[in-house]
């Protein structure tokens, strides 16, 4: 007998269905964008649910490859991380394109405590870490990759690029023409390939328009804070980012247990004052692009990550787990369409 999924899981499945349809529908837009702007763009980001680069820069989803971890705290020495970056950079080289990685940190102008909890709201420490990672990746990849540090101010979705010769902030670009945006990037990034600066221009021009909109019509304050209900563990969650719903833990993180604990702690705080029906969930997911061994590997990894996260959460949030409000679900995502397929047919309501 199959039970209907928990409303939180139904919401995830609905979101995926909508996002997958949008992703497939955006394929022609991605092809056009890639033909005009061939530079491969990736972004190092915090797992914070507010950081949606497609929303901030107006590019179709799937154009910017995200690498997400708590505080964006990737380290060049993480073996799983470096080999994934290498695979991505190789893909750009084979396509004859440049590759750039936006290494981001985030903060809030209105209230420091709406900044990055992964860094204890220490913006300068987060920025210094991003600069170190930029230097390490520049050393490893040479001119095959242009790593660039950017700050994200989440009240207004405002990007600030920190180039070797100065900053380019979205607020100063409001009302600027594409040529003016390009000139600002050229001035800040004299050491970066011409094609990279050209292909970043529309992103920063669109971001200036986004910031102007949010200045004219500010978001309600509650939307700025943490409202997440999902602990997403694995990789390939770019379809999940438009909503402030999930905290994302990348499985390349060698301190995986600690990141799961921190995410679980944030989720527990988010529902502390809510009613009994308000649940949170583990969501383990791994992507595959080939229906053979690649898919079987994704299934085994997703199940393994699910069990791992369940054990960590059971130990770190025993009270919430005992209430039956910490749910668990696992699935695999087919990369070409971002379509989620649940494992075991349906969600597990209470795994313990
Ligand atoms: Zn953060």
Domains annotated for the chain, with CATH where assigned, are: 38-220 (3.40.1050), 226-342 (3.30.1330.140)
Give the pLDDT confidence of 237-274 residue by residue, as tens digits. Answer: 888 866 678 888 889 888 899 989 999 998 999 998 88
Give the Å distances, CA to CA, from 24 to 8, 21, 29, 60, 295: 24, 5, 10, 11, 20
Q: Measure 51 CA to ligand 1 centroid, in angstroms.
A: 9
Cβ neighbours of residue 120 closer than 8 Å, sequence gap 6 or more? none
Q: Give bridge partners of residue 331 from the DSSP assignment.
A: 285, 342
DSSP classification of residue 293 = H
Residue 254 C-beta-side C-alpha neighbours within 13 Å: 9
Q: Measure 177 CA to ligand 1 centroid, in angstroms.
A: 32
Q: Measure 50 CA to ligand 1 centroid, in angstroms.
A: 9
161: its two tokens: 């690029």
Give the pLDDT confidence of 123-135 residue by residue, as tens digits. Answer: 999 999 999 999 9
% residues pLDDT > 90 (the chain): 73
Q: Measure 96 CA to ligand 1 centroid, in angstroms.
A: 34
Give the pLDDT confidence of 142-167 residue by residue, as tens digits. Answer: 999 999 999 999 999 999 999 999 99
Residue 7: alpha-carbon gap to chain centroid: 24
Give the pLDDT confidence of 192-205 residue by residue, as tens digits. Answer: 999 999 999 999 99
Name the residue with higher pLDDT: 118 or 289: 289
pLDDT for res 109: 92
Q: Measure 55 CA to ligand 1 centroid, in angstroms.
A: 17
Question: How does residue 50 score in pLDDT terms, banded at 50, 70 and 90?
Answer: confident
Mean pLDDT over 77-102 rounds to 94
Of 137-141, 196-200, 288-292, 301-305, least confident by mean pLDDT is: 288-292
- 1 pLDDT more than 70: no
Q: Measure 185 CA to ligand 1 centroid, in angstroms.
A: 26
- 3 pLDDT more than 80: no
Give the pLDDT confidence of 320-338 residue by residue, as tens digits. Answer: 999 999 999 999 999 999 9
Instruction: Give the position of tokens 């997403």.
Output: 232
Give the pLDDT confidence of 97-111 residue by residue, as tens digits. Answer: 999 999 999 999 998
Question: How does residue 352 score in pLDDT terms, banded at 50, 70 and 90?
Answer: very low
pLDDT for res 243: 65
Closest by CA to 158, choosing from 203, 95, 111, 99, is 203
C-alpha span between 71 and 50 (Å, rounded)? 12
C-beta of residue 241 within 8 angstroms of C-beta of residue 43: no
Q: Measure 292 CA to ligand 1 centroid, in angstroms.
A: 36
Q: Measure 293 CA to ligand 1 centroid, in angstroms.
A: 35
Return the exposure string of 169-206: e unless at least 16 CB atoms fall within 10 Å of the residue's CB, then b.
Answer: bbeebeebeeeebbebbbebbeebeeebbbbbbbbbbb
C-alpha span between 212 and 143 (Å, rounded)? 34
pLDDT for res 344: 77
Query: Which run of H or E residues covers position 17?
Result: helix 7-25
Which residues have their alpha-adjacent CB atom under 5 A from ion ligand 1? 46, 48, 116, 118
Q: Measure 198 CA to ligand 1 centroid, in angstroms.
A: 29
Q: Measure 319 CA to ligand 1 centroid, in angstroms.
A: 25
* CA torsion, ordered 221, 225, 226, 232, to nearest 10 deg: 110
pTM for the complete prediction?
A: 0.86
Mean pLDDT over 205-218 rounds to 96
Q: Measure 309 CA to ligand 1 centroid, in angstroms.
A: 20
- 300 pLDDT more than 80: yes
Sign of CA dihedral 314, 4, 243, 291: positive
Q: Measure 49 CA to ligand 1 centroid, in angstroms.
A: 9
Q: Measure 351 CA to ligand 1 centroid, in angstroms.
A: 29
Residue 4: alpha-carbon gap to chain centroid: 30
């Amino acid at each position: 007998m199959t039970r209907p999924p928990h409303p939180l899981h139904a919401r995830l499945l609905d979101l995926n269905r909508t996002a997958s349809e949008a992703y497939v529908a955006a394929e022609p837009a991605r092809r056009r964008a890639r033909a005009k702007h061939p530079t491969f763009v990736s972004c190092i980001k915090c797992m914070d649910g507010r950081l949606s680069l497609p929303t901030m820069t107006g590019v179709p989803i799937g154009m910017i490859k995200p690498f997400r971890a708590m505080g964006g705290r990737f380290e060049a020495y993480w073996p799983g991380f470096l080999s994934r970056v290498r695979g991505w950079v190789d893909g750009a080289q084979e396509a004859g394109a440049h590759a750039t990685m936006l290494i981001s940190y985030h903060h809030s102008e209105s209230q420091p405590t709406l900044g990055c909890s992964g860094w204890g709201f220490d913006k300068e420490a987060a920025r210094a870490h991003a600069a170190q990672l930029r230097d390490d990746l520049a050393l490893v990849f040479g001119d095959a990759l242009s790593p660039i540090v950017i700050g994200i101010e989440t009240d207004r979705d405002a990007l600030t690029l920190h180039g070797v010769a100065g900053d380019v902030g979205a607020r100063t670009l409001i009302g600027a023409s594409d040529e003016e945006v390009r000139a600002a990037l050229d001035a800040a990034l004299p050491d970066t390939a011409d094609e990279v600066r050209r292909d970043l221009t529309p992103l920063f021009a669109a971001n200036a328009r986004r910031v102007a909109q949010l200045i004219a019509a500010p978001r309600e304050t509650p939307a700025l804070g943490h409202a997440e209900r999902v602990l997403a563990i694995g990789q390939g969650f770019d379809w999940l980012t438009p909503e402030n719903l999930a905290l994302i833990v990348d499985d390349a993180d060698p301190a995986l247990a600690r990141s799961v604990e921190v995410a679980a702690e944030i989720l527990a705080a988010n529902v502390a004052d809510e009613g009994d029906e308000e649940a949170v969930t583990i969501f383990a997911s791994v992507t595959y692009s080939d229906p053979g061994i690649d898919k079987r590997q994704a299934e085994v990894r997703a199940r393994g990550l699910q069990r791992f996260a369940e054990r960590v959460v059971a130990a770190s949030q025993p009270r919430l787990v005992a209430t039956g409000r910490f749910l668990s679900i696992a699935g695999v995502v087919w990369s070409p369409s971002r379509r989620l397929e649940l494992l075991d047919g349906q969600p597990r309501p209470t795994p313990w």
